Chains A and B, each alone.
Chain A
Amino acid sequence: MSSFIEVQDVEMVFSTRKGRFHALREIDLKVERGEFVTLIGHSGCGKSTLLNLIAGLTRPTSGVLICDEREIASPGPERAVVFQNHSLLPWLTCFENVHLAVERVFAANEDREQLRERTQAALELVNMGHAAAKRPHEISGGMKQRVGIARALAMEPKVLLLDEPFGALDALTRARLQDELLKIVARSGSTTVMVTHDVDEAVLLSDRIVMMTNGPAATIGEILRVDLARPRDRVGLVEDSHYTHFRKAVLDFLYTRHGHVESAAA
């Protein structure tokens, strides 16, 4: 039985000016349909590289990536990406930014009015309907990231890929957006792969946490199955001892067993 996303024995070696950089080795991963998987690890462990490989933005040096039984050969709207730096085009309004994506995916089959409705719905989904006419520089970081998520979701992708989407935000905004993401993902049922540094975020959101060893030549170390009941409530979970156990397990992996030493990464 094949999984929705399969990463088979993938290696990634970059040729840089300073020589070859072995980013990833022996990556095998299966993600089921509708699952929420988090990639976590220290900087330089290749988690963003792995996400880019799944997105199709990079091709692996060896190995194969498969999504919905088709090889991932190039990027596309069915594997929508939410970038770390929102990447909203600054000369377009929020509406136009999302509309660009909607138009690309649905213009062939739908008329202008339908496209407009889709765009507006996507913005409403992330509570940004009121700011549709604003330009990115007129809204806050958290709002920009919301629009980035709206743009990704508007494409109705098979897979939602998030690269440290909340890393640049303050703690309160981050918490709010995590809660919103939980609701959105529950509603849409999309398969999600997220890269994060944040242990709490990983435990709160994921079905499985993939913990990566340190680079170079990083690989998957351990995978933790977080089977806390859904819907998950942030405040309730603080009291849940299982949540604490999961959290400690991930922290132990990251900081007790695979503590990151800056000099060793060079």
Chain B
Amino acid sequence: MKTFIRACEVWVPSNDRTMLEFGGGLYGEATRFAAISRGLCFGRGEGLPGQAWEQGRPLVLKVFEGSYFRRTAAAHAEGITCGIALPIFAGDFLTSVLVVFCGDDAAHAGAIELWCNQPGESADMTLDDGYYGTTAETFEYISRRTSFRRGTGLPGIAWESGLPVFFEDLGKAARFLRADTAQKVGINRGFAIPCAVRDSGIYVLAFLSALGTPIARRFEVWQPDAARERLHLHGGFCEAGGAIAPAPSHLALDRGQGTIGKVFLTGVPAVSDNAASEPAGWGAHAAELGLASLVAMPVIHEGRLAAVAAWYL
């Protein structure tokens, strides 16, 4: 992968709901880490996925030593330095945990942030924690001191709408790192996904990147139709082609059709490292654009699946 996301994995509860079992993952070049992970399972409260289940809310873990993390050595060996676990709840019921791993990369500029609001206590959405790349110090400094209100800013708009949001330009007036190469730094692209948690609290996960080093090369938002039978591409953004217009209905996906359709059917995130094999013409489209890896996750709002967010790495 070219982005600082090193791995994405999905953990699902076992049949007796005592353990979390491996449900698929994308590991790119971190093969050792992949090998170890595939064989693991986590009890409630164990390891990063187990902790997310236990606490009932998203977690950002940046210091592996001495924590509940179980794959510290393997992670360090692959240069993985941060894990973000997203438990996906339908009401009190845990459907899955999506875990995203990031590593330091001298060439990238980006961040993943977890924003949180406690309704009733505060009207502010503040930074719970975040992972920041090497050139994002200023961004981190300001983010830690900023709070958003409902409807303002990337997290604020995801909060208000309850749907995934993409910002082509965050409006943070990018600077130029080197005038000769006109390479823009400054984080100005992002997408945010609201996360449904077990207890109260509104969480939004924001993936931010600079123009030259995008977090994802393509981002899509799919929404079910009124009858909740089929899933339609609502919009998104592609680095190659710009904003994505809503797709016509003949390109919609049925429940269970392809990776994204599977998410629609099961309400559990899914990953694929062979995007070219996706159905309904989307696979061919992905192959055309040279996109191989795909992550899709459900966005639950008020107990129901409101959208599926998909990103191609």
| Residues of A bordering B, CB below 8 Å | 26, 28-29, 213, 219-227, 242, 245-246, 248-249, 251-252, 256-257
Residues in chain A near residue B172, CB distance under 8 A: 252, 256-257
Once A221-B153, A222-B153 are accepted as A-B contacts, the answer to whether A256 and B171 lie under 8 Å apart by CB is yes
The answer to whether B250 has its CB under 8 Å from any CB of chain A is no
Residues in chain A near residue B153, CB distance under 8 A: 221-222
The DSSP consensus for interface residues of chain B is loop
Once A256-B171, A256-B172 are accepted as A-B contacts, the answer to whether A227 and B152 lie under 8 Å apart by CB is no
Once A252-B173, A256-B171, A256-B172 are accepted as A-B contacts, the answer to whether A222 and B141 lie under 8 Å apart by CB is no
The answer to whether B124 has its CB under 8 Å from any CB of chain A is yes
How big is the B interface, by class? 10 to 19
Q: Is A248 a contact of B173 with CB atoms below 8 Å?
A: yes
Count of CB-CB pairs between chains A and B under 8 Å:
53
Question: What 9 pairs between A and B have smallest CB-CB spacing?
Answer: A257-B171, A28-B123, A221-B152, A225-B145, A256-B171, A223-B147, A249-B142, A256-B173, A220-B149
A221 to B156, CA, bound (A): 9
Once A220-B149, A222-B146, A222-B149 are accepted as A-B contacts, the answer to whether A245 and B123 lie under 8 Å apart by CB is no
- A29 — nearest CB in chain B belongs to which residue? B123
Q: Is B147 a contact of A222 with CB atoms below 8 Å?
A: yes
Q: Give residues of chain B (137-194) contacting chain A, Cβ–Cβ below 8 Å.
A: 138, 141-142, 145-153, 156, 170-173
Q: A225-B145, A252-B171 are in contact. List 12 more A-B contacts (CB 8 A).
A: A213-B152, A220-B152, A222-B146, A222-B149, A223-B124, A223-B146, A224-B145, A226-B145, A242-B141, A246-B142, A252-B173, A256-B173
A213 to B157, CA, bound (A): 14
Nearest Cβ distance between residue B238 and chain A, in whole angstroms?
23
Nearest Cβ distance between residue B210 and chain A, in whole angstroms?
15
Nearest Cβ distance between residue A3 and chain B, in whole angstroms?
11
A257 to B138, CA, bound (A): 18
Once A213-B152, A221-B152, A222-B153 are accepted as A-B contacts, the answer to whether A249 and B173 lie under 8 Å apart by CB is no
